[in-house]
Amino acid sequence: MFLFSQARQYVEQYQDEKRIFRLKEHRILFIFGLLIAFLFVPFVGPDYLFNAILVPFLVLALAGLGLNILTGYTGQLSLGAAAFMAVGAFATYNLELRIPQLPLLVSIFLGGIIAALAGIVVGLPSLRIKGFYLIVSTLAAQFFVPWLFTQYGWFTNNNASGVITAPRMEILGYSINSPVGHYLLTLSTVVVLTVLARNLINSQYGRNFRAVRDMETAAITIGIPVSQTKLLAFAISSFYLGIAGALWAFAYLGTIEADGLDLNRSFQILFIIIIGGLGSLTGSFLGAAFIVLLPILLSVLGQAVFGQAIDQALLQNLQKIIFGGLIIYFLIKEPEGLSRLLRNLYHRLRKWPLRY
Amino acid sequence: MKLFKSLWFWLVVVAIALIAIVFVTKKDKQNPPEQKQQAATEQQTQLSDKNAQYFPLQSYRVGPYAAGGTGFFGGFIDYMKAVNAKGGVNGVKLVWSECETEYVVEKGVECYERLKNGLNGAPAAATNPLSVGIAYATLERSTKDKLPLITINHGRTDSTDGRVFPYVFPLQLNPYSEVSAIINYLGQQSGSLEKLKGKKIVVLYHGSPYGKETIPVIEILSKKYGFEVTNIEVPHPGNEQQSQWLNIRRIQPDWVILRGWGVMNPVALKTAQKVGYPTNKIIGNIWSNSEEDAAPAGAAANGFISITTHPSGTNFPILQEIKQLVIDKGQSDLADTNRFGTVYYNLGVVNGILNVEAVRVAQNKFGKRPLTGEEVRWGFEHINLTEARLKELGAYGLVQPLKLTCEDHEGGGAVRFQQWDGKEWKVISDWVQADRALLRPIIEQSSEKYAKEQGIKIRDCATEE
């Protein structure tokens, strides 16, 4: 049913190019999907769906989106994604704690801004070093940030365990401290930021990003300010990651320690965009779905099929083997990620029964 | 037929269907009270899945801490199997299902959310994540869902204060009591607590919320008794500790308190030997006290001292019973039954005893049927394990006498010291009590601060029955 006729839908103006979907029917379906997510799901979904599936999925998709802007679109490799998430989370926490007058959304926004500033600082070496060597500088951030938050008690309000707890979650006097509230907060943030990212990518800046990624020398030659573009990419990417971090800490877990956002989390986010598709916004969502939902699905299936009948450790290891196998399979099948796989499938279907 | 090709038509159809679903589910939500009553009246004498109490197990059997997870959950499950073999708890069968957390916080949260609603209608009694990180993350959720959160021998210290944390139970020994008991023991060893003045102690801790939990209390104790303390962190998981131990050798402390977990422990012992620090000056804490911690270090572990709340060994009547009812029948949860009677396994059994005892206590008040989490919580708060009761349970010497109240969610606070002789642990001391009177105000201060931050109303225990 997604194969709508393209008849009489021409791209005539530049404005039309900017649209998320070229076909009118796709746009209608997209809006309809959003309506379902906002109006239908909150009414019927069980807590488990919000708390354990949708919220982490959306937050990691947002984090993937942030990293995609930096790595997928601008071509700057980074292993510091989790560090920026931590900056965002701790900044939001401290803003809420020390300036209680600030509304929650403003704190989260400012937390993102602080993460963006941290991103610019970490991004400075990218002006000199390129490619894989840049990993070293972002890796340094990844080790430095958790150390900073653990070492100095001020950041965690002198909590003995170095754990911060979510502030009271309220927007305009309405408490959103419920699974549905967390879900709606996350969903609206993610939708708004995704639309913004889409527009950014289609703007002059987005084209600069891709020019820098594809060939730096050529980009300089045609007059693109490479250093500014790189720093801007770092800032925006970190802004997204910072907000994702704040949501991860407060809308999902409700508590966080600096070590909860360690190198493994950075790898996880990097895998999300590699599996989903570098340089694709949809890819971030697909990758997050793959990384977050598939293990849960396997685990639920494993319990449903075998239950307590077979050795539990064996069952767990089997799930890991299947998961790893699937990653390898998909990357061999389509090295450019799940989003490319889906796109190929779509074009295949359109032309069916003709081939190519 | 043109209608069926229109996108709008289909959208409207789907929308109406969805709205209908919303209405149907809304109605369902208003009904459940009746169903609950039905379940309550359904009294059955024989064990069946309908008349069952459910334990959600957030277990971990893979990853760096698998040794602890398999032992603990193995003991817990075997104990429940033994209880079932003897007819359940007053005729109520115990059931459980597992969800792998790998000791990772978000997986634990996912598992909590998945399992909290019970299994096939059997209500959940309590969660036992055996991970401080997961306990922290599910603490608020447990309170909201009215499901007790059991953190035996670990957990968030100020949750001892049941007035602020009604649903959290750091049973037997919270982290502060643990440190205090170790210091008391060191005081005994040096003659008296006053003689600790000027001594040097290093705390080597696991870089996690669990490891950091005791830093403030050891500083308070060091000021009180005048010993010097240095806290050194080992990053998780801790399989590289050369620099930390070189640092320790430079400091030349009188004792090292090893606050380790999992693979960190044997590595610490081996590295200590490498830098030439005497093993019998290393005091392992409650999570550095198992066979799995000492044995892999080989000869380097000889003489290593650690604390324990429950001796290892199989000589207790309850363990013999488990052996007879479960192990000998080949039904044990352990992949390797040689681990029967080890420290982690016995802790699992102790945990099982306490959980089941809470259910039993609550059943005496609420009736002999599957209970809700809220009712089981009442049971936990009224656990009173006297020596006579422990003998009845066959757990005398395995579990310390324990009395929980509305204010006090810890109970015991006593530990024994044991020494590794190369093959097994030998108990070398009597029960050493923590200075709980000293710790209580610190705990209350911290819990009241938390209550204020979170806007929690402090319970008045005098008015509770």
Q: Are the beta carbons of B141 and A260 closer than 8 angstroms?
A: no
Determine how many CB atoms are found less than 10 A away from the CB of residue B144: 13
Q: Are the beta carbons of B89 and B364 closer than 8 angstroms?
A: no
Residue A174 burial class via C-beta count within 10 angstroms: exposed 0-12, middle 13-18, buried 19 and up: exposed
Spatial distance between the Cα atoms of B359 and A328, rounded to a whole number of angstroms: 47
pLDDT tens readout for residues A43-76: 888 888 888 899 999 999 999 999 999 999 999 9
3 state DSSP class of A255: strand
Spatial distance between the Cα atoms of A305 and B62, rounded to a whole number of angstroms: 20
Q: Is B98 on the interface with A (CB under 8 A)?
A: yes
Q: Which residues pair with A136 in a beta bridge?
A: none
Spatial distance between the Cα atoms of B72 and B78, rounded to a whole number of angstroms: 10
Set of chain A residues whose Cβ sits within 8 Å of the Cβ of B56: none
Per-residue DSSP letter, B297: G
Number of residues that make up chain A: 356
- Domain layout of chain A by residue ranges: 21-261
pLDDT in tens, chain B (465 residues): 677 778 888 888 888 888 888 888 877 665 554 444 444 444 444 556 678 999 999 999 888 788 888 999 999 999 999 999 988 898 899 999 888 888 888 889 989 988 988 888 889 999 999 888 899 888 888 988 899 999 998 888 888 998 999 999 999 888 889 899 999 999 998 888 888 888 999 999 988 778 888 888 899 899 989 999 999 989 878 888 999 999 999 989 999 999 998 889 999 999 999 999 999 899 999 888 888 888 888 888 999 999 998 888 888 999 999 999 999 988 888 888 888 988 899 999 999 999 999 999 999 999 888 999 999 999 999 999 999 999 999 998 888 888 898 888 988 888 999 999 988 888 898 888 888 888 899 889 888 888 887 788 888 888 776
Nearest Cα residue to A261 out of A99, A63, A52, A103: A63
Nearest Cα residue to B341 out of B310, B311, B308, B314: B314
CA distance B39 to chain A (A): 22
> Beta strand B282-284 with B305-308: parallel, antiparallel or unpaired?
parallel
The token pair that represents A341 in the structure block? 């796989």
pLDDT tens readout for residues A163-202: 887 777 777 778 888 889 999 999 999 999 999 999 999 8
User: Which of B22, B98, B213 lies at the smallest CB-CB distance from A44?
Assistant: B22
Determine how many CB atoms are found less than 10 A away from the CB of residue B106: 20
Nearest Cα residue to A249 out of A65, A8, A59: A59
Spatial distance between the Cα atoms of B410 and B177, rounded to a whole number of angstroms: 9
Spatial distance between the Cα atoms of A169 and B270, rounded to a whole number of angstroms: 48
CA distance A336 to chain B (A): 28
3 state DSSP class of B50: coil
Is B62 in Cβ contact with A320 (below 8 Å)? yes
Is A299 in Cβ contact with B99 (below 8 Å)? yes
Is A161 in Cβ contact with B209 (below 8 Å)? yes
Q: Is B213 on the interface with A (CB under 8 A)?
A: yes
The token pair that represents B296 in the structure block? 């892999």
Is A162 in Cβ contact with B209 (below 8 Å)? yes
Nearest Cα residue to B268 out of B207, B205, B183, B343: B205
Q: Are the beta carbons of B350 and B152 closer than 8 angstroms?
A: yes
Q: Could you identify the residue written with the tokens 């006097």? A: A173
Per-residue DSSP letter, B19: H
CA angle A298-A299-A302, nearest 5°? 85
Set of chain B residues whose Cβ sits within 8 Å of the Cβ of A150: 207, 212, 233
Exposure string for B363-390, b = 16+ CB within 10 A, e = fewer: beebeebbbbbbbbbbbbbbbebeeebb
The token pair that represents A272 in the structure block? 């999300």
Q: Is B320 on the interface with A (CB under 8 A)?
A: no
Q: Is B156 on the interface with A (CB under 8 A)?
A: yes
Q: Are the beta carbons of B415 and B309 closer than 8 angstroms?
A: yes
3 state DSSP class of B420: strand
CA distance A210 to chain B (A): 35
